[in-house]
Every structure is written in C-alpha cells, then in structure tokens.
Amino acid sequence: MSSIEIDAPPARVWEVISDVRNATQWSSQAVKIFALGGRTTKGTWALNINKRGPLVWPTTSRVVEFEPGRRFANRIHENNSVWFFDLEPTTSGGTRLTERREVRDGLTFVSTFLTDKAFGGQPAFTKELDEGMSLSLQRIKTLVEQG
C-alpha cells in the first residue's frame, strides 16, 4: 500500500484514474489497454498488455468497484489480484490518494508458477509491485497537478 497527497480536489483526481485506458500513463507495467465498451464503469472488461524488460504478457481485468470521487478497483483475472485506488479529500482542498493490491482468494497456480520462473519469485515480485505503486502515485500526482 502506498499513499500520496495531490494538490487537486478528488473530482479532478477521479477524472484521471477512473478510465482504465489511462493506466498506461502511470503504470510500471501496463503498456497498452484495450477496454471493451465506451466510458469505464463498474463491470468494464479490458485486455492489458504488460511489459517488464524483455518480457511481455497479456492479462484481462474487470472493474469491480466504481464509486465516483471515492474508490476505483480493478480485478486481474490471471492472478486474482484486485488493485484499489481510494480517494480522500484533505483539509487543504486536495486529495489523499492510496493505492493497494489485495489477493483475497490467493494467487492462481499459473501466476505463482510464472512469477517463480520469470520474475524472481513471489517475495521479489511483490516488492517490485509495491515500489511500482509509489512510482505510479507520483506519476498520477504529476499528471493531475500539471493538467
């Protein structure tokens, strides 16, 4: 889990994070996202193309929580992870944005196997994902505050 304060109201932060296609602007791994349908809403499905060094792999995802100005969550089907963005207004008129990843149902066998073989094992990959959250939040902050 990682958090950052952004000098913009939650509605402005929401504009940036609530469209699944925008994730390529801040994600440390997603390089292309093909969303099904028009505007992102709860239930939106997407095909994601991810990259890490020379490795490229697809995942599919579905928006499982969509509470405008408050929470956005996306479930990755290949590994059972759910990525959350929670927005909280600050007393200064800005937003505290928190990103976290949960695997409530446990990782899939395929995900565990591939992580062990291609990504250096689960502890190393989880650490990398955690570090990626901090980077993602910094990139979102920059996008929102410059926009």
One pLDDT digit (tens) per residue for the chain, 147 residues: 999 999 999 999 999 999 999 999 999 899 999 999 889 999 999 999 999 889 999 999 999 999 999 999 999 999 999 999 999 999 999 999 999 999 988 888 888 888 888 888 888 878 878 888 999 999 999 999 997
pLDDT score of 112: 84
Q: Count how many residues are written for the chain.
A: 147
Sheet holding 55-67, edge to edge: 2-6, 95-102, 81-89, 71-76, 55-67, 45-52, 30-35
